[in-house]
Structure 1
Amino acid sequence: MTQQTQQTQQTTLFDRTRLGGLELPSRLVMAPLTRNRAGADGVPGDLMATYYAQRASAGLIIAEAATPNAVGRTYPHIPGIHTAAQVAGWRRVTDAVHAAGGRMYLQLQHGGRVGHPDTSGHVPLAPSAVRFPEPLHTPGGLRDAVAPREMTEEDIRSTVADFANAARSAVEAGFAGVEVHSANGHLLHQFLARNTNRRTDGWGGSVEGRIRFTVEVVRAVAEAVGPDRVGVRISPGLGVNGIEEGDTAAIYPALVGALAQLGPVYLHQVYADPASPLFDAIRRAWPGTLIANPALTREEVAADGGMRAGERLLAAGADLIALGRGFLANPDLVERLRTGAPLNAVRPEFLMYVQGAEGYTDYPALDASGIRAAAPAAAGPRGGRRPAAV
């Protein structure tokens, strides 16, 4: 019997539940969101440890994307999980979260064509040599994308191995598990989509060929750390980062069915819509825990952090609800939603491509009376370069 069939109409966002070997105090998950606060070498520092520890009351934290190798790096100050220093930095983060009572997974992401030599030191790799259509943030500012190099069979096999090694390193760093990122226009999603995967070999063409890379990465990661420590993120139909899947309704049932045979502990659907036939099809096809991340307007985030949208997804069969910006601005989001306390407003100018504590660790929590307390002290410098748009 799946978790879906066990749910009753009385299930709420604040119920305790289980995820593999983890006991979760609620069904509210902090979604992974890139914040660009790691060091220039991809090493997480004390500021990141403070940020995540402040949010340890989430049912589960899925930490922001970390790259499994150097060529997979997307933007400046993105964390990695492929050097000893990066593993040690993440260990400081997980130690801080565990000390605050939290639970934590790490998302593994390879950018594929979403990368630049000025950032990574490498020409990007991708399923096909299809250039990213927009300028990219680099240490020297916005730069036009370069044409990626089409991955050889050796590139593919070594990248699969890098994901497995990154998963082992994440467990060594204290994470309870990892989330394989096959969404949002990054490398695995590029293999799924027709406009970025123009291959005619066994890694492209048919639906079976285009899902193969994601399946092989998840297989290798599950063999490395155990399927009960592995989640997978998908974003059916989401056209970010220049993606045009072309056959969304065909590719995702095939992908979900193939992944189900590998037994990952959860599937995480981005921008899930409870009224969508595809959401219903994925829920029926997926035998395990389904995390749903709702698409939210700024007004919905300001009004309730996504609580009502999450409740609708829970009623439609999701098991856990992942929220992003609500957790960014409210380190104690679960308690605020539970009690109906007011929410901090998101400051979008500090979301990405900036450095320092401002708009990161200086969002206040509630004090015992339910009033916004002063922002906690945070390590690291304040301020930094602001993005042109978020």
Structure 2
Amino acid sequence: MPGEVLRAAGRVERIGEGPGGALMVVEAPVGRCASKGCDCVDHAQALEQVLAAVYAHCQDPSIELIGHRVVHGGALFDGPTVVDDTVIDRMESLLEMAPLHMPPALAVLRACRERMPHARQVVCFDTSFHRSMPPLAHRYAVPRRWYTDHGVRRYGFHGLSHQYVVHRAAEMLDRPSAQLKLISAHLGNGASITAFDRGRVLDTSMGFTPLEGLIMGTRCGPLDPAVLLHIQRRTGMNLAAMIHLLNTQSGLQAVSGLGRDLRAILAARAEGDPDATLAVEMYVHTLRKYIGAYHFALDGAQALIFTGGIGENSAAVRALVLEGWAHLGLELDGVANAAMTAGQAGFITRSTSPIKALVIPTDEERLIARQAHAATAGGQLRGRP
């Protein structure tokens, strides 16, 4: 930094799945990729695997600055923040707002501070990008004291991804983001969609927690909250258990009966599996409803962005989502859509299409690096989000 030279990339998956059950993928030097099984009983042990790979593959692997993605900043954090003990205490107060994400994030943060006490650390929040949402979008129509005393409002998530692709779209469209009205669809195991209106977020699908909004791999999406009382009366299940099920055993997994991987569900759909077919139809239907609503809320979006693992790689899903929308000004180019996979960025609509659709691979890590560097270097990097 600030030249953004990528020295190495990688990830550790399946943490906590028993001896040898984790998978570590390393790309260093960039362009050469290797994977291996490893032991990672928790995220702190996974960090040790990551650091060993960095030291093995990078020359001069001194680590001076570490950027962390944190899902929930609540009302306490509105941008990248240099870590100290007070910051960690404030983050701990947000545990119940993102119980699946905050504990491992804090575990890695603590392990980094213990392992590398002299390195500066910056936390970057998924909720920060959505802080510009107006009250008409972020308020719930609930008793006022829920909002004023308990922070009940819509926060939005995937903000780092949405922020990155919005600014990449502005570059690709050759217009300042402050002049653009965009819809950004981050589609992965977790999924959300954001309406961006000339420099600010107008609305986003996720709410108080990441559970609200689109149907996802294991999250339910739209649900009448009275269902919880109904199930409690019928089964005796407590509220915490029901929320756990809605986060981890619902969504595509529940409808298809085939797990959360949309690739496997699409393959079963192609073979005529009725549950897989219904799961895909529900997924696409919910997504199309949000896109349509945001298009009109923006008084006409100028472009639609697909990102995330599904958005970047599934031409089939993109085609289903955009089917029959030529009358709205979205004219899909089938050839371009089919070719747009494996990390490519580009347009998937015809050159004559009034509204553009783009595929943009997200790069949250690059944006985190930019934000962490800016937070410790005394200023934003010019020309960057």
Larger Rg: 2
- Give the number of the structure with larger relative contact order, counting CA–CA contacts within 8 Å between residues 6 or more apart: 1
TM-score (norm 1): 0.30
TM-score scaled by length of structure 2 = 0.30
Structure (1 or 2) with the greater helix fraction: 2
